[in-house]
Structure 1
Amino acid sequence: MGRGKRGLLAMAVTVVCAATVLGAPGTAFASPTRTPTPVGTPSPTSTPPPATRVPTPAPKPGKDLEAVRERLDALYHDAAVATDAYNAAEEKAEKQSAEIVALAKKIVRGRERLDELKDRAGAAARSQYRTGGLPDEAHLMLSDNPQAFLDGAGRVQQGQRATKGLLAELTRTQQDLEQYSTDASAQWQKMESNRKTKAEAQKRIEKQIAAAEKLESQLEKKEKERLAQLEKEAADKAQTAWLDSGAIEEVGGTSTEQGEKAVEFATAQIGKPYVWGAEGPDSYDCSGLTSQAWAAAGHGIPRTSQEQWRQLPHVDVKDMRPGDLIIYFDDASHVAMYIGDGNMVHAPRPGRTVTIAGAGSMPILGVVRPDA
């Protein structure tokens, strides 16, 4: 077996193995709840820039619960940003894995076709050897039969065309195999890069969540109850300010059939725990909930909140209808589903469950419509 053949077969084996090992299902992405503040209706932009945050100093439990709340919001927000990066890397890796498998199959089929063409070329060479090594043209010129000469001339022309076609197909097949190998190698490198991105993002997520859980664990029972009350008061204050601003006075759009199905699915998940990277059925993160809700409605959407914001059509807040997705924070790190009457359903953050909340209880970046 020649060096080229060994290399191509090795590549086929390599990419199939890579797809098998790296195509294993992973997890997905999440989003937290930060300090709620009243907002208006911002102008939708394309891809939000990465958030630049000044780290909030860790407060001492029992001294300033408001500072504790702000610190927790910051930690969970940073965990959500890292989760988005994790999910995006995972989604890319899954696509690259599928592409590698497809390329591997092309390499195998191309290899088989190349072997077949080489067998045909070898058969032609052996046939010529059996006739004394003379080409068909020479035998034709030595013929003294006029009719045989004319019949032979036609066969020679057909043979020449067939030979040219065979050589051209051999060349094309070899070139295709080389290109498939190059493409598979490139996809492998991209998938390796995304694996590293996922691993780094996972470390950041776990670090931020661990810090938040440690901070909460240091609180006394009464402090935890008071902290929960502070969170609720902040959310209620933001929601009231948002409603009083008249942001949804004109909202009254009727949902589509698909939108109703998406809302029905999302609200049926109420009470299930938030788990970063989860897409159900037992737990969800924020974009896992919205993407699965729309998948259940028969309409696939991007997996992460940032890609939902970037790829889905934007609509004004005043035009939103049940089923639309509300994107929160300037970095699009959280997403919820609007269900009507100024409310939304979402998976808030670690330690919380899927719940209904005021649509204006967090800073709104904009609204997108999956079924526009």
Structure 2
Amino acid sequence: MGTGKRVLVTAALAVVCATTALAVPGAALAAPAPPPAAPSAAATPPAAPDRDLEAVRKQLEKLYRAAAVATEEYNAADEKAREQSAQLDELTVRIDAGRERLAALRDRAGAAARAQYRTGGMPDEAKLILNGDPDDFLDGTGRVIQGERATKGLLGDLARAQEDLETYQADASGHLTRLESNRRAKATARKKVEKRIAAAEELESRLEKEEKVRLARLERLAAERAQNAWLGSGALKETGGAATERGEKAVEYATAQIGKPYRWGAAGPASYDCSGLTSQAWLAAGRAIPRTSQEQWRRLERVEVADMRPGDLIVYFNDASHIGMYIGDGRMVHSPRPGRTVTIAGAGSMPILGVVRPDA
């Protein structure tokens, strides 16, 4: 093309190739041709053709999709680490209480042993002769028998307390091992997210302002094409179920967040990632649901697209890496990706994996 903006987009495509390793496997673009010689200062470079920006758009989509997958990996590891940390804290309290109980039982057992030593070393015949009163002897013998039973019960309590303490300590060791493993997984996922987002931002930074405007237009057109195709398939012909009271509250919360920025790993109140928005919306409606989009897909009841109602969650892509909330009329609210804000979009603007219902 021999123009300045052609060089700019070609450079952006070069970044595409350089960052392909960070994206979804197999997503590489063909290497662009070497840029032509720079134009003269007097030349007025024409705009780069949309087909070049379309290649950039597709690569950005792959990079941000890869970032979304890594974000949900991070969220899952973070949630598990939080759960295990709480369980470890609970076990620590039990271990401390168990140690105190064991110490108290040992003190009681020691006192019982000392008492038995003081009174239990003489044969019963000698006690009877020295006492001289058979009734007193029998009373004393009864107390001794009761004491022996109490001692046996005390020793049983002591053994059980020791077993409980050992069990708590073993459980705590296992929880600590899993906690450290999930902390490492969390750190690894964090690095993946940061690399993929950095690659996408680097690619976008090489575009001029006018090209970014046209790139946004291409993104909107792609979403509109997908939405129109989805609507044309007749997917919404039988929908129209009314939202439940909780569903209405969840929709109200989610739509109130419109305009707030996407931030990976965030669950409000200032920013959200996709599953952070849906989980917090339903929590505000009085229903706790899993934190990640994959777990929301796995653990919540599934419903047919034709049966969905406002408040239901629409899960996208084969790996369930994105999620939004249906609000009716073929639309959903979601937190799209880095650099974007919570917004309303067509429910069919991305490939739908399925629909789940938190308040089934």
Distance 1:139 1:219 in 2: 106
Match of 1:347 in 2: 335
Does the 8 Å CA contact 1:305/1:334 hold for their aligned counterparts? yes
Match of 2:184 in 1: 196
Displacement of 1:58 in angstroms is 8.0
Select which of 55, 59, 66 maps to 1:78. 66
Q: TM-score, normalised by structure 1?
A: 0.83
- 1:54 matches 2:41: no
Does the 8 Å CA contact 2:24/2:62 hold for their aligned counterparts? no
- 1:277 matches 2:265: yes
Displacement of 1:55 in angstroms is 2.5
Select which of 290, 299, 320 maps to 1:302. 290
Match of 2:318 in 1: 330
Change (3 A) 1:137 1:369: farther
Displacement of 1:135 in angstroms is 6.0
Does the 8 Å CA contact 2:24/2:63 hold for their aligned counterparts? no
Distance 2:24 2:126 in 1: 83
Match of 2:278 in 1: 290
Match of 1:230 in 2: 218
Displacement of 1:56 in angstroms is 2.8
- Render the CA deviation track for 1:125-171: whole Å, top value 9, x for unaligned: 3324444x626857755543211122123212211110110111111
- Render the CA deviation track for 1:171-195: whole Å, top value 9, x for unaligned: 1111111111111011000000000
Match of 2:15 in 1: none
- Secondary structure of the residue aligned to 2:150 is helix
Q: TM-score, normalised by structure 2?
A: 0.86
Distance 2:111 2:30 in 1: 80
Displacement of 1:123 in angstroms is 1.3
Select which of 318, 343, 368 maps to 2:306. 318
Change (3 A) 1:189 1:139: farther
Match of 1:178 in 2: 166
Does the 8 Å CA contact 2:333/2:344 hold for their aligned counterparts? yes
Distance 1:326 1:153 in 2: 77
Change (3 A) 1:136 1:225: farther
Structure 2: unaligned runs, 5 residues or longer: 1-22, 36-47
- 1:161 matches 2:149: yes
Distance 1:110 1:235 in 2: 60
Displacement of 1:122 in angstroms is 1.5
- Secondary structure of the residue aligned to 2:353 is strand
What are the residue-to-residue correspondences of 1:102-251 with 2, within 5 Å? 102-131=90-119, 134=121, 140-142=127-129, 143-251=131-239
For the pair shown, which has the larger CA radius of gyration, 1 or 2? 2
Distance 1:314 1:196 in 2: 32
Larger relative contact order, structure 1 or 2 (CA cutoff 8 Å, min sep 6): 1
Displacement of 1:95 in angstroms is 0.7
Structure 1: unaligned runs, 5 residues or longer: 1-50
Does the 8 Å CA contact 1:337/1:346 hold for their aligned counterparts? yes
Does the 8 Å CA contact 1:59/1:71 hold for their aligned counterparts? no
Counterpart amino acid of residue 352 in structure 1: R
